[in-house]
Amino acid sequence: MKFGVVVFPGSNCDRDIAYVTQELLQQPTRLVWHEETDLQDLDVVIIPGGFSYGDYLRCGALARFSPVMQAVVDHAAAGKKVFGVCNGFQVLTESGLLPGALVRNRDLHFVCDRPQLTVERTDLSWTQNYQTGEVITLPIAHGEGCYYADPQTLASLEANHQVLFRYHGENPNGSLNAIAGICNPEGNVLGMMPHPERAADPVLGLTDGIRLFKGLLD
């Protein structure tokens, strides 16, 4: 399984993800500069967290128009996997690969925490190593992580079981329906605000995230 991690000016979780796929999982991995346009050698494209283009205008808005994003859209259209974490999730909603938008946290604070999440669905490779309804802990660190969608979009997300992760207990950012991560209807594009790559190496104290990456290898 070959992984590519997109690097925009301002990305800052790219190496954390590459460390997980390359060092912990021993999978071929390369960093993909935002000006690249050929991703055909990759199986999984990951858009990491950070502050692409300084979060200017809106989080993810300018990254959407970088050369690599058309290739990411084509990669997703071919049914291959695309995974956006944190700022990567924002880029995927701005690109229209996932519905809705991520807006300023309800309480205005930048939240840096370790919330609990419920795994809502486990029939996709992303979550196949979890139990349905299992409560896991993953770190979050964001100022604009409040998931918003109009009532119709929200209803269709729920009806199609596109919510993979939901905050359990306290909702840290005011996300509608406590949404922490969603996929597209086909299930090959996933976006989430929590950082599974920061919960992969036991030395960091949390390990619930590694199972997500391991699920992609089967």
Q: Count of residues binding another protein (CB under 8 A)?
A: 20
Give the Cα separation of 3 and 70 in Å (integer).
Answer: 18
Active site residue 36: no
Smaller CB separation from another protein, 40 or 96: 96
Q: How long a stretch of residues is the chain?
A: 218
- 81-85 and 189-192 as β-strands: parallel, antiparallel, unpaired? parallel
How many of the other CB atoms lie within 10 Å of CB of 203? 6
Active site residue 86: yes
Residues 173-192 that bind another protein (CB under 8 A): 174
E-assigned strand segments in 122-200: 135-137, 140-142, 146-148, 163-168, 179-183, 189-192
Q: Which parts of the chain fold into alpha helices (H)?
A: 14-18, 67-77, 87-94, 151-159, 210-215
Which residues, 6 or more positions from 32, have their beta carbon under 8 angstroms from its beta carbon? 4, 5, 6, 7, 39, 42, 45, 68
Task: Choose which of 36, 116, 148, 161 interacts with another protein (CB under 8 A).
Answer: 148
Can you spell out the DSSP letters for 36-55? ----TT-SEEEE--B-GGGG
Task: Choose which of 46, 86, 149, 210 interacts with another protein (CB under 8 A).
Answer: 149
Return the range that interacts with another protein (CB under 8 A); candidates 29-37, 55-63, 133-141, 181-189.
55-63
Return the range that interacts with another protein (CB under 8 A); candidates 5-13, 38-46, 58-66, 120-128.
58-66
Using the rule CB under 8 A, is 110 a contact of another protein? no
Smaller CB separation from another protein, 64 or 75: 64
Using the rule CB under 8 A, is 34 a contact of another protein? no
Least Å distance between CB 53 and another protein? Answer: 12
Catalytic residues: 86, 195, 197
Binding site residues, another protein, CB under 8 A: 57-58, 61, 65, 93-94, 99-101, 103-108, 146, 148-150, 174
